[in-house]
Amino acid sequence: MSSTKHLLDPELRAMADGPFLQNLNDAKVARVREAMADQVPTLADPQPHGLYRKEILAPQDSGPAVRCLLYGPAERENATATAAYLHVHGGGYLFGSPEGSDPMNRYIARELGITVLSVDYRLAPEHPIPAPLDDCYAALSWLHENATDLGVDPQRIGIGGESAGGGLAAALAIKARDAGEYPICWQALTYPMLDNRTGSEAYPGDPLVGEFVWTRELNQYGWQSYLGQAAPEAPQVPARLQSFEGLPPTWMFTATLDLFRDENIEYAQQLMAAGVPCELSVYPGACHAFQRIEQAGLSKRYRADLLAALRKGLGC
């Protein structure tokens, strides 16, 4: 197949020339994590922006306490409870940390004046399902249980994430709906990783997607690592869900060259068919993780659109 580089937005064409993970296996995962950790800049002081940031541990009965980064306004302007956003980082279920999302989470907390909780869930292949989703649920539980102390309205707690983080957010919404313990008012899913079949021999998909950053081969390795010996079922594999009724209102974002484009669109259609309010945004000329080029017009547009969606979904 000829390259799809010409279909990228001109400001994003550097994404086609970046180093990509190839022939990933369990032995290489640790080395890739170390390299990624070295690329995360030192966390900026949030105080000049009127914020605090601290580490918390969310307990859970069936596993270790879950480390999270908590953000919020250093001083509350009034006694009125505000919204909260539980963020789940991306990384193919294999990589990533809350620190890598620190700039965006500080931006959200500052611009909206809300509490943000970013969860450091356990990673595959060492920790396949159900561990990652259990960790996210523990973070959601902590946020609800501590809502009064945080000045958070428990009816205005939303969730979201990117890529695998978006997949875990979608899974968390399903788990929370079925458990009926902790309400979620809204979810923001940025090119979420929803379907273990995508990129397999049986489901290769449109040849115009998935050339850059996150490929079919990486997707299959990520899912195999995440699933372990478990069957591919909802909630951990959201695309396998049978009933979409009762899920929270959704902002679904994807891109025309992203491997997840079609599974994202199909998931949004399933939500709509179930009567769930769902806004679907598809950016032309963008690929997976295009926001790394921060000054590109589409990246600026994404940040503005996400913030607007958060503001609407959380009632800010």
Catalytically annotated residues: 163, 258, 288
Look at the alpha carbons of 221, 225, 227, 230 in this order and tell me if their dihedral is positive or negative: positive
